[in-house]
Amino acid sequence: MQRIESHQSFAGRQEVWQHDSTTTHIPMKFGIYLPPKAIVGEACPVLYWLSGLTCNEQNFITKSGFQQFASQYNIIVVSPDTSPRGENVANDSAYDLGQGAGFYVNATQEPWATHFQMYDYIVDELPDLIEKNFPTNDKRGIFGHSMGGHGALLVGLRNVDRYTSISAFSPIVAPSQVPWGHKAFSAYLGEDKRLWANYDSLEWMKQSAKRKHLPILIDQGKADEFLMEQLKPQLFEKSAKLVNYPITLRLHEGYDHSYYFIASFIKDHFEHHAKALEN
């Protein structure tokens, strides 16, 4: 690994690292915030942030203002890139496919399959790397925004023994039923919708009746331009009620899909995760 950025912040340190990934087969970058206790070597819980379409490791660490709360609760925060990148990596001219739009799946179709193995990267390789190189304990949470909200709900619900808590801002809750998901899943996974279901958090919610329930917080802006066509949080809320899964869905008047929305409520998400991580 190579550290390529380091900035003092709220008595902790915001860093960016690059490493050669054995999952995506290219160099990958991730941001990591080390709170005060981690700076002196004390083991801390880890919260993984998954970003949305077009983003890389920089968006969350520079726009959300999360560092003050990560410092307050002494939580390590890891923010990976949203996809593999590079001249030899498959791409598309549209913003919602290819580089910057990994959708947190393991692609099976060419030309994507060689590098777009983001599910395994997020679930296995990245946590293993973090836990071998930084002072972590065995507590993990996961959260994200938009496409990353889809990723956080998906990864958390599929791996309930790995995580203590889940939250999301403006998540794509049912990718199999919306245009963004149709486009990405068709390209990365082909037309077999049984495979799509493996990467659809709504489908995993439907199967969660007899599985451990992690606390879930979802914040959604009511002025979000993507709310009705792409996000549809009511579908997730309805599915949760059918299996008696308690979730907190909050709708906020006037808020849109931007990082201004995220920054407005990021404190609440740290309180949500800190409560679970401390138990």
CB 118 within 8 Å of CB 55: no
Which member of 257, 269, 272, 273 is catalytic? 257
Nearest to 184 by CA among 146, 127, 144, 222: 146
Which member of 224, 269, 272, 273 is catalytic? 224
Residue with tokens 């006037």: 254
Which member of 9, 146, 170, 239 is catalytic? 146
CB-CB neighbours of 13 under 10 Å: 19
CA max distance for the chain: 50
Residues 6 or more apart from 43 whose CB is under 8 A from it? 135, 136, 137
> Is 146 annotated as catalytic?
yes
CB-CB neighbours of 34 under 10 Å: 22
What are the distances in angstroms from CA 133 to CA 9, 41, 137, 236, 256?
20, 11, 12, 36, 37
> Is 257 annotated as catalytic?
yes
> Is 224 annotated as catalytic?
yes
| AA identity, residue 261 | F
Q: What are the catalytic residues? A: 146, 224, 257
